[in-house]
Amino acid sequence: MRVVRASHLGMCFGVRGAIAKVLRTGAREPLTVLGELVHNESVLEQLAARGIRLRHEVAEVDTPTVAITAHGASDRRRAAVHERGLRILDATCPIVRAAHRAVTALAHDGFHPVIVGTPNHVEVRGLTEDLDEFDVISTPGDVERLSPRARFGVAAQTTQPIERLWQVASLIQRRFPQSEVRVAETVCVPTRLRQEAAEALAAACDVVVVVGGAHSNNTRELCARCRRHCGRVFLVQDAGDLRPEWFEGARVAGLTAGTSTPDAVIDEVEAAMRDIAQRRVA
């Protein structure tokens, strides 16, 4: 059995930057991260081992400095941090920051913001909490519940597939032909490259292993993409989750990973897959 990696996989620059910032500051002073820095257990364990705290609410923070995650935060949430006299370490990914600017511009120009994404996801909350009015759409079918507006501004959670953004925009235009529809392309390029590479990989493999957190949006999306082309797709958090029987009769096994998966975890999973392949030959 051959083991093949996707041409783009694993941790993106936004997550790497956020982790580096938090580790650097956490080594100097007590630090709390507001929400999960990334949706990956091994990264969260690494932070906890270094004494970096995780709290979900501003009111629960008991260190002078609080880190905003790569997913970003609304101005309201930042104001709540400042009101408590806390200092902000901003680890927001530059691409998420650009998405905030794009959504703000849509609202400012009189477009009703429609965000294509997962309702209540931390990034979507950050994108919408400062808006007076907005809709979040998780499936194209949700377009049916939109009320008529003169102008719709459609943007996406950064990890959404770009096709879904454009599909929703065209469905809105079809449902409201008199309305003006403007699209802000807020989908992140590293995510898109990983999704495209995962599909190409899955099309050429008998089995695909996706490494990532069970709660990671982009990891779940990678699984869904791979399942379009391959009947045997398995999500693992680490090498310990692999099962030799998954690879029964497989000639090519593919490997991809979500944007919050550390390199070391991917390497371990790859080594374990090669080990399974070796044992089958022996």
- The CA distance from 69 to 72, in Å, is 6
Which of residues 32 and 69 has its CB atom nearest to ligand SF4 in the complex? Answer: 69
The verdict on whether 129 is a catalytic residue reads: no
Using CB atoms within 10 A of its CB, is residue 193 exposed (0-12), middle (13-18) or buried (19+)?
middle
> Do the beta carbons of residue 52 and residue 73 sit within 8 Å?
no
Shortest spacing between CB 257 and ligand SF4, in angstroms: 12
Q: By Cβ distance, which residue is nearest to ligand SF4?
A: 14
Shortest spacing between CB 220 and ligand SF4, in angstroms: 13
Locate all alpha helices (DSSP H) within 50-141, ordered by sequence.
75-83, 94-108, 122-128
Shortest spacing between CB 79 and ligand SF4, in angstroms: 23
Name the phi and psi angles at 258, rounded to 5. Answer: -70, 170
Amino acid identity at 8: H
Provide the binding-site residues for ligand SF4, judged by CB under 6 A. 12-15, 70, 93, 95-96, 158-159, 188, 190-191, 218, 259
Which of residues 17 and 140 has its CB atom nearest to ligand SF4 in the complex? Answer: 17
Q: At what angle do helices 13-28 and 41-49 cross, to 10 degrees?
A: 20
Which of residues 60 and 263 has its CB atom nearest to ligand SF4 in the complex? Answer: 263
Q: Give, as one character, the DSSP assignment of residue 63.
A: S
Chain centroid to Cα 101, Å, comes to 19
Which of residues 189 and 204 has its CB atom nearest to ligand SF4 in the complex? Answer: 189
Shortest spacing between CB 54 and ligand SF4, in angstroms: 18
The one catalytic residue among 29, 41, 123, 221? 123
Residue numbers annotated as active site: 123
